[in-house]
């Protein structure tokens, strides 16, 4: 897959202990990459990172992207060929509680990573992951395009817009002749191994696994839900295309310095309430009550979706799973985890006791890739 661009390649990932970082690390391992990860501790307990025992499978570096010197030393010591920058303060509500940390992590962290890359020879490609919330949200019913205005009223969204501006500045000032760089923006992702607070899927999974009811905030908020493997396939394909040899430069150059949206089909948007109800269908006997008032004083957009025509045109990328398949993949992972955990109730509990979750995760990646291959997507070749 991905034109074999990751087999044996040295890949550096920031934020590899997070939800998306965990899945990206697992997929790159399955592709045969040599991986170094630089990140803080996993953001939750339990965590997908610990469940997959990834610390034992890669070069794991504990560090903060706000520490410019430590990050530069980590990049220089590993000498990567491809870099994925995912480290971030990743939630809207905590950005209100600690706005300075959010800007330092998301904006200055991006600056520190790109400065480390600038000073490290041999880097071929950089993919900076930001967010769909980097756009100035006008509550449009149509999808945002990559050339729409950046912005954001809450600190998280504004910090992601800052990261986009910094990345574009480094491309324009330093990276036109290499390394090649692109930024990527994705909508809300779901999937197994996410236990972050104030997210619909982890909130339901935690509560129902403990036989508790769950109350859903902002049930009418609409999001372009997609399984975590969907945008990751786009990130990996974009990184592969950017890293190709000079003989493919004519094809690759139009991607350099560009931003790309990765999201589901336009008709896959669903409300938070619909996601909770769909999940409950895989957890018999449970439902979710809805808090129609939401969170007073902490504004989040109620409608946000992306136009992904650019990814379709330049990368021939499109989403693979429908909404029902996305929910089924997600529910299956959590049920596997909690079933294995329940079978070991008599022993001391830890993530390592949750069964072979790496193997289960790898099988989901293989199943997803096989479905994409049946759809003749070019990244599967």
Please report the sign of the dihedral spanned by the C-alpha atoms of residue 222, residue 226, residue 231, residue 234: negative
Residue-wise pLDDT tens digits, 306-315: 899 999 999 9
Return the CATH number at 295: 3.40.50.720
Nearest CA to 230 out of 118, 306, 139 is that of 306
Count helices and strands (H / E) in the chain. 14, 13
Which one-letter DSSP state was computed for residue 145?
A: P
Long-range contacts of 290-296 (CB under 8 A, 24+ apart): 290/215, 290/216, 290/219, 291/215, 291/216, 291/217, 291/218, 291/219, 292/219, 292/220, 294/217, 294/218, 294/221, 295/93, 295/217, 295/218
User: Which pLDDT belongs to residue 315?
Assistant: 95
Burial of 63 (0-12, 13-18, 19+ CB in 10 A): middle
Q: What pTM was estimated for this model as a whole?
A: 0.92
How does DSSP assign 173-220, residue by residue? IIITTSSEEEEEEE--EE-TT---TT-HHHHHHHHHHTT--EEEESTT
Number of structural domains (the chain) is 1
Looking at residue 332, its pLDDT comes to 94
Q: In whole angstroms, what is the distance from residue 255 CA to residue 317 CA?
A: 13
Distance of CA 63 to the CA centre of its chain: 19
- What is the per-residue pLDDT across 339-352, written as a single tens digit (0 to 9) for each? 888 776 554 445 44
Tens of pLDDT, residue by residue over 259-277, are: 999 998 776 778 888 998 8
What's the CA dihedral at 246, 250, 252, 257 to 10 degrees? 110
At residue 49's C-alpha, the angle toward residues 33 and 286, to 5°, is: 130
Query: Please, what is the average pLDDT of the chain?
Result: 89
User: 214: which strand partners?
Assistant: 288
The domain containing residue 71 runs over which residues? 2-380
pLDDT of the residue at 83: 98
Reported as a single tens digit per residue, the pLDDT across 52-77 is: 999 999 999 999 999 999 999 999 99
């Amino acid at each position: 897959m991905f034109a074999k661009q990751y087999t044996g390649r040295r890949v550096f990932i920031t934020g590899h202990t997070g939800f998306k970082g965990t899945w990206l690390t697992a997929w790159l391992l399955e592709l045969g990459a040599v991986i170094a990860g630089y990140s803080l501790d996993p953001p939750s307990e339990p965590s997908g990172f610990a469940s997959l025992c990834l610390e034992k499978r890669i070069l794991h570096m504990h560090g903060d992207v706000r520490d410019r010197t430590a990050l530069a030393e980590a990049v220089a010591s590993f000498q990567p060929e491809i870099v994925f920058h995912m480290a971030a303060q990743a939630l809207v509500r905590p950005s209100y509680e600690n706005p300075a940390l959010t800007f330092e992590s998301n904006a200055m962290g991006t600056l520190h990573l790109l400065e480390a890359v600038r000073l490290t020879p041999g880097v071929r490609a950089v993919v900076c992951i930001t967010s769909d919330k980097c756009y100035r949200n006008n509550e449009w019913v149509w999808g945002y395009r990559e050339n729409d205005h950046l912005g954001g009223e809450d600190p998280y969204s504004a910090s992601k817009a800052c990261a986009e501006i910094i990345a574009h500045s480094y491309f324009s000032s330093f990276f036109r002749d290499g390394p090649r760089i692109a930024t990527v923006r994705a909508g809300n992702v779901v999937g197994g191994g996410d236990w972050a607070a104030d997210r619909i899927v982890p909130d339901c999974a935690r509560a129902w696994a403990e036989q508790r009811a769950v109350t859903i905030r902002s049930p009418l908020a609409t999001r372009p839900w997609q399984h975590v493997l969907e945008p990751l396939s786009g990130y990996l394909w974009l990184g592969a295309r950017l890293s190709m040899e000079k003989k493919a430069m004519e094809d690759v150059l139009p991607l350099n310095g560009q931003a790309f949206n990765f999201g589901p089909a336009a008709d896959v948007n669903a409300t938070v309430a619909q996601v909770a109800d769909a999940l409950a269908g895989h957890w018999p006997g449970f439902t979710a009550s809805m808090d129609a008032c939401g969170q007073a004083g902490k504004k989040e957009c109620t409608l946000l979706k992306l136009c992904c025509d650019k990814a379709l045109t330049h990368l021939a990328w499109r989403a693979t799973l429908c909404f029902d398949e996305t929910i089924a993949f997600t529910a299956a992972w959590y049920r596997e985890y909690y079933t294995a955990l329940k079978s070991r109730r008599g022993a001391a509990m830890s993530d390592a006791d949750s069964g072979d979750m790496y193997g289960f995760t790898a099988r989901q990646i293989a199943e997803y890739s096989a479905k994409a291959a049946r759809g003749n997507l070019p990244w599967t070749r």
